Amino acid sequence: MTDQTPSAAGVPDTIRFEFSGHRPEDAVRDLAGVYGGDVAGAARWVARPTDGTFDHRYTALGDTEVTIRRAQLHGALHGVVPAGGDHVVLWVGTGRVEIEQHALPLEVPVLLPADQEFAFRTADHDLRIVHLDRALVRRVAGLRGDVGEHELRFDTHRELGPEAAGRWRDTLTALARALRAGGTESAAWQEAKSAALEVFLDLFPPVLDDLPAVLGQPRNARLRAAVEYVHDHASEPISISDLSAASGLSVRSVQESFRRVFDVSPLTYLRQVRLDRVRAELTTADPQAGAVGDVARRWGFAHLGRFSAAYAERFGEYPKETLRRSVH
């Protein structure tokens, strides 16, 4: 059953839906409909029984800004979730969940990747999920002074301890209690949402890219827009024409500006940013997961041999060496 109830102008619509089933094909249809993106995305999802039986249940309640959800599965499921959509915090109560071959801990909040597609694998799970609207998170982060003008970026590999887990568990409890007490139009729900966003930004503070001070000069304002576009969209295909459109500079001026300030071409600057992002992930990745190729591809490096050479040139070591020295 699905329900999206229109609200008054300026008030978020109510979200309420539930589905369940006993066949793997039903789970793929239902769950990929929420997370798979489209029909082509659903084709990359597979479900199967784990012990001869299979069932799934999924519920969602809240509004278009914040929803609390529960996903239960007796069986196995794997697939690929496309980039985009809400910021999603996952709490694994029981079962096994892997994101990009990395097993998630039990009863600890984990932020799922939002700006790049990711592969997942799960079995016999009971999950508590909170969806947070991107625009709302951006607005609250701006009011808190957590971010500048460009898009938010979060560290999805951030590991949280018992105190953080307790804060998020209390947040889940408060959201559920507010919905039971008065629904999405109540003052209690608005207060619980505001508190949830504050806790979210405390536990997962935005990652701010340190841009060179020279970009603060008035003459470099348009170049700064192009640089911010690179940082905000580094995992996506980017052309010089994209940078031209983002900055209001001609293609030639974009090239000349990057040369003047950074002494590299725009695409070389993009490659450096991507290499920095790969290194940041590898320093916290599980060395047993064999993550180098997957991380490199997520950041736009299709040819792993050339990537490895560029990485070694920039950092003085090969990516597998970084992975072996990771914090795990």
pTM across the whole model: 0.73
Alpha carbon separation from 70 to 18, 93, 197 (Å, rounded) = 10, 10, 19
Residue-wise pLDDT tens digits, 156-168: 878 888 999 999 9
Residue 273 has pLDDT above 80, yes or no: yes
170 pLDDT exceeds 60?
yes
Confidence of residue 150 (pLDDT cuts 50, 70, 90): low
Which of the two residues, 151 and 196, has the higher pLDDT score? 196
How confident is the model over 225-245, as a mean pLDDT? 91
pLDDT of 12 reads: 87
The predicted pLDDT at position 84 comes to 79
CA distances to 6, 139, 156, 310 from 147, rounded to whole Å, are 32, 10, 17, 30
Q: CA-based angle 163:197:34, to the nearest 5?
A: 105
Asked if 261 and 214 touch (Cβ cutoff 8 Å), the reply is yes
pLDDT at 247: 92
Question: What CA–CA distances, in Å, run from 17 to 45, 55, 177, 282?
Answer: 21, 17, 18, 38
Phi, psi of 129 (to 5 degrees): -130, 140
* Model pLDDT, residue 40: 63
pLDDT of residue 184: 93
Q: Are 264 and 242 in contact (CB under 8 A)?
A: no
The CB-side HSE value for 260 (13 A sphere, CA atoms) comes to 12
**Is beta strand 102-103 parallel, antiparallel or unpaired with respect to 118-132?**
unpaired
Sign of CA dihedral 244, 311, 151, 127: positive
pLDDT tens digits, 41-71: 678 899 999 988 999 999 999 999 999 999 9
| pLDDT mean across residues, the chain | 88
Q: Band the pLDDT of 155: cuts 50, 70, 90.
A: confident
Tokens of 106: 């039990």
Q: Give the pLDDT of residue 218.
A: 85
pLDDT at 130 over 90: yes
Q: Is the pLDDT of residue 214 over 80?
A: yes
